[in-house]
Amino acid sequence: MRKKIVAGNWKMNKSFQEAEELISVIAEELDEKELDCDVVVCPPAVYLEMISDYAEESGLSVAAQNVSAHDNGAYTGEISAYMLNSMNIEYSIVGHSERRTYFNETNADLAKKVDMLLENNMKPIFCIGELLDQREENVHFDIVKQQMEEGLFHLNEDEFSNVVVAYEPVWAIGTGVVATPEQAQEMHNYIRLLISEKYTNEIADQTTILYGGSCNAQNAATLFANEDVDGGLIGGASLKPDDFVKIVMSF
Ligand code: PGA
């Protein structure tokens, strides 16, 4: 059985005190529940240490939102996978559409970030997904294929088995326009097919593929009910503890 994951991407939100309040409520609420999935919290980098302390106590995992493509040295402002790993951070998001769009990160840059994470025993949550006009032009499958090929398919089987894929159609991120369960299933199934063609059926079967984009407490269960949707990468709704917990309980 492949791993199911619900990950909360807090993006650039919350003061230190607000972040502490948020994680303590989430940890407390989840503590009383039996979970059918792993829960990953992705706070801003400056809060990673504080969040890790809470997470460790309550069995949650922690992800950075970004990582440097370089290993160490004179890169002011950057945070390396080596540093994150030394703080026992398990995952990092790579290639979120906001990084691709606002910080011009290319698939080639992202491939380097993936390598850095794997070299430092961390797991990438690798984001892919098409823009609205690409879907309207019916090239969304080609875009996703290219992102998989250029960002991930240089990895060998062993390396790839540490990757989590997150399909996030850009038109659904933060817009309130969620992909239909059929659209999500269709693309997730396609991504799994790409993985089985590149690697093996077994690896494809074991790969966790998350959906992201306006996933919330109301629609999570219908999305997660699809065979190839193994959980979600949640933005806005992860900032509301009750909603986030409901999403976690949607399997
Ligand atoms: P959203 O963001 O849930 O606010 O649409 C998802 C994401 O960006 O990962």
Rounded Cα–Cα distance for residues 5 and 62 (Å):
12
Instruction: Tell which atom from ligand 1 comes closest to the C-alpha of 175.
Output: 5
pLDDT of residue 57: 87
Rounded Cα–Cα distance for residues 244 and 227 (Å):
22
Nearest Cα residue to atom 7 of ligand 1: 235
Nearest Cα residue to atom 2 of ligand 1: 235
Nearest Cα residue to atom 3 of ligand 1: 235
Mutate to test the pocket of ligand 1, among 233, 238, 239, 244 (most ligand atoms within 8 A of CB): 233
Rounded Cα–Cα distance for residues 243 and 158 (Å):
36
SS3 (DSSP) at 62? strand
pLDDT of residue 53: 94
The residues spanned by each domain of the chain are 5-248
Ligand 1 centre distance from Cα of residue 126 (Å): 14
Q: Report whether residue 212 contacts ligand 1, using a CB cutoff of 6 Å.
A: yes
Residues 6+ apart with CB under 8 A from 150: 107, 108, 110, 111
109-150 pLDDT, tens digit per residue, is: 999 999 999 999 999 999 999 999 999 999 999 999 999 999
pLDDT of residue 1: 83
pLDDT of residue 11: 98
Pairing status of strand 231-234 against strand 5-9: parallel
Q: Which residues are catalytic?
A: 96, 168
Residue by residue, pLDDT tens for the chain (251 residues) are: 899 999 999 999 999 999 999 999 999 999 989 999 999 999 999 999 999 999 988 899 999 999 999 999 999 999 999 999 999 999 999 999 999 999 999 999 999 999 999 999 999 999 999 999 999 999 999 999 999 999 999 999 999 999 999 999 999 999 999 999 999 999 999 999 999 999 999 999 999 999 999 999 999 999 999 999 999 999 999 999 999 999 999 99
Contact predicate 223/210, CB 8 Å: no
Choosing among 1.10.30.50, 3.20.20.70, 3.40.50.1980, 3.30.310.50, the CATH entry for 5-248 is 3.20.20.70
Q: 166 — phi, psi (to 5°)?
A: -120, 115
